[in-house]
Amino acid sequence: MLSIGIPVVVGLIGVFLLGLWVLGDRSPVDVELRDGETAAGGPDATGPAAGMMIGEDQPVPADMDFPGGPDETAQGQPGMPGGPAGFGAPATVATEPGTPAGRGAAASGGGGGSWPNFRGPGYDAIAQDASGLASSWPSGGPRKLWTVKMLGPGHAGAAIAEGRVYVLDYDKGSRQDVLRCLSLSDGNEIWRHSYPVEIKDNHGISRTVPAVAGGYVVALGPMGHVTCARADSGDVVWQVDLKKAYGTKIPSWYAGQCPIIEEGRAILAPGGKALMVAVDCATGKVAWEARNANGWQMTHASVMPAQIGGRKIYVYAASGGIAGVAASDGSIVFQYPGWTVNTANVPTPVPVGNDQFFITGGYGAGSMLLSVKGGTPTQAWKIPQKVFGSHQHTPVFHQNHLFGVAMDRQLVCLDLKGERVWSSGHTATFGIGPYMLADNKLYVLGDDGTLVMAQASTSGYNELARAKVLPGPDAWAPMALSGGKLVLRDRDTMICVDVANP
């Protein structure tokens, strides 16, 4: 047996107590990779039963002990933990001189238009109000207005509102999720809000787009932490950990679902105890929950507004199928269990009119047209992956056709019969980066940071310009456009380029 003197024992006890003090001082959110998750992974992923309406709105507990289990209301339903100290002493810091509100107003001058959430103001990846954009670029590409180094690797895209850019970042140094507000005009940071989260790089970390509306910004972090803050100052209104409140199972490669704000409510699809929820941005009260009797889980896909028979719904590609939920009360309008995607379900259902939706996915899923006429979902047709499928991004519906990058990396145009009208050919390929439409032009970003502008035409592929604008790699984040300013990023860097006519 080893003999240890008293001084050595005292010293070891001192080191042990010091270690406890250091660990206790951090108070991070207790999250880590789930069993079976590794840093190897694969390509990035950006995003029923009878519905129910809770009898009374559920208040945010002002004194919740976070992180902890869900608050139990009198109805026995999970409440929304929240409050400024929600994630263990988060910090909101104004990083530009002067008041944030004044700075933002100055930055917005002449911007015009907005891109307030994932896929833009119409939820269709189309800048409807854009005009006067350049049809060609100089040899060096469009003029770069600013460059911002991201705090950590990721694929989170930007939202733009009132001359401000909102992006969810991750600081690897301090190990915190960071919601940042930047000036659209020069990229300077106006404010940031952060909270500690222990997480590992797994093909990037943050990968969602915030939603901005009605003076609020809502962001979903990679491990399911939702923050609602005031858009002008970054002051926190409420926060919730979806894993603790709803038993959400975070997808592989972390959360990719992008929240939306509709009529003052944040719409989220946590899975677990609720398929979908609507939360009042001003109060954090739960307006309704959609019952999840089938136990469908969160995917990387995002919730999208749509119309069925003149009725407003939210459509979502959950782990077990496609669901439509009534926007008014969260009741289930339809469920279609005939669509699932192995590995990662990322693209969002695309409304194409006549109560129909184009559905696509990667990993062998291919694509289909889902018809919900009369409230009954049926498969109108299905096409194999070799015709069209998508690992990550959602096609653009324009002129009764669908535009998107297929699994063979070509830009293609599909008709509503599921047939290819044209493709860009093997000499013009793009990878799994984003694309959007503005001023009858398609902007397509390749994996390596090459930006291509092509005519948005159903008659054939017509490339107008291309330029290397980012160093790469992994330029996968959705783009955002406002007032001729295009915001885009790769794994480590965000830039803004001027695509307006000179």
Domain membership flag for residue 52: yes
Domain membership flag for residue 335: yes
DSSP states along 144-187:
EEEEEE-SS-B----EEETTEEEEEEEETTTTEEEEEEEETTT-
> CA 494, 256, 208: angle at the middle one, nearest 5?
35
Mean pLDDT of the chain: 82
Q: Nearest to residue 413, comparing CAs of 447, 387, 446, 452?
A: 387
pLDDT score, position 340: 80
Domain membership flag for residue 407: no
Here the CATH number for the domain that contains residue 163 is: 2.130.10
Full domain range(s) for residue 148: 39-339+428-498
pTM: predicted TM-score of the whole model, two decimal places: 0.82
- % of the chain residues with pLDDT over 70: 78
3-state secondary structure 378-413: EEEEEECCCCCCCCCCCCEEECCEEEEECCCCEEEE
Domain membership flag for residue 49: yes
Domain membership flag for residue 345: no
Domain membership flag for residue 113: yes
Tens digits of per-residue pLDDT, 371-387? 998 889 999 999 999 99
For residue 326, give the amino acid letter.
Answer: A
DSSP states along 179-196:
EEEEETTT--EEEEEEEE
Tens digits of per-residue pLDDT, 414-465? 999 999 999 999 999 999 999 999 999 999 999 999 999 999 999 999 999 9
Q: Nearest to residue 54, comparing CAs of 226, 277, 243?
A: 277
Rounded distance between C-alpha atoms, residue 135 and residue 378, angstroms? 42
Q: Which helix (H) or strand (E) holds 324?
A: strand 321-326
DSSP states along 118-138:
TTTTTTSSEETT--SB-SS--
Domain membership flag for residue 357: no
Domain membership flag for residue 373: no
> Which positions of the chain have pLDDT values less than 50?
1-88, 97-112
Tens digits of per-residue pLDDT, 195-205? 999 988 777 78
Query: Count of domains in the chain?
Result: 1
Q: Which helix (H) or strand (E) holds 443?
A: strand 441-445
